[in-house]
Amino acid sequence: MIYFSVHLTYIDISNDMTMSESSRRKSGVTRFGKTPGRKSSPKKTHAPQEDFLAGRKSSRSIAEIERLIPREQRIEMEVIRNGKKSVVSVKTGYGYMVPSFTKAVSLVDISTLVENENGIPSSEIEFLVDYLDLNVPEIAKAADVSTSTVSRWKSNSRIGKSGAAQFFKIDEVVKKGVDVFGNLTDFKRWLNSPNMALGNVTPISLITSPIGVDRVDASLDALIYGDVL
């Protein structure tokens, strides 16, 4: 009995010591101080992604958009004329406000972007959204997704293949419109004015649908060739 009692006491003391030693190890401290060579790793934190619609309640002004949009891209090419070499600067890029499109050198680049199953980041269309004053249903229609999907978009969310293709068309129309009218302000006024050739509706009301944006594009072509639309 005495042996048994002593044995129990030994186990209790041993357990206490083990628990005490274990807790010390967890905290990085031994009976002789901190465990040598052990450094606590800082916790990794990930910055939260901003909602795509954050700040969309009040659109940027045209002046601010013009200041922020990508600058014109140009490449230098060597040309030989009559046996003489010369270097000419050639404008590259497509669209007007979407960075990925304006940086594209050829239609092959555009095809790669548009045919990508995930499309482009939603952050790339924010200048178009602000300039055209698109609301959530209109953005959803252009991207061929639900309004709830648009509401969940973060700044790095991909807008999908259909959305990339449609916003490329829209950006090309904006580029052509600025070429025709000379500036974003006058073109926007035309976009928001009823147009007889379009059934007396505003071009902006058609621009988010695949067929509608083609009709708006055709109306701009008519203006280029002298028809008043």
Confidence tier at 18 by pLDDT (50, 70, 90): very low
Distance, in Å, from the CA atom of 190 to the CA atom of 8, rounded to the nearest integer, reads: 93
pLDDT 10s digits, 131-147: 999 999 999 999 999 99
> What is the separation, in whole angstroms, between the first and last Cα of the chain?
110
Residue 11 one-letter amino acid: I
> Is 20's pLDDT higher than 50?
no
**130 with 139: CB under 8 angstroms?**
no
10 Å CB burial of residue 80 (0-12, 13-18, 19+) is exposed
Inter-CA distances, 196 with 66, 202, 228, Å: 30, 9, 10
Q: What is the pTM of this model?
A: 0.69
**77 with 122: CB under 8 angstroms?**
no
> Is 6's pLDDT higher than 50?
no
Indicate the range of 96-100, 117-121, 223-227 predicted with least confidence.
223-227
Q: Can you give the pLDDT at residue 199?
A: 92
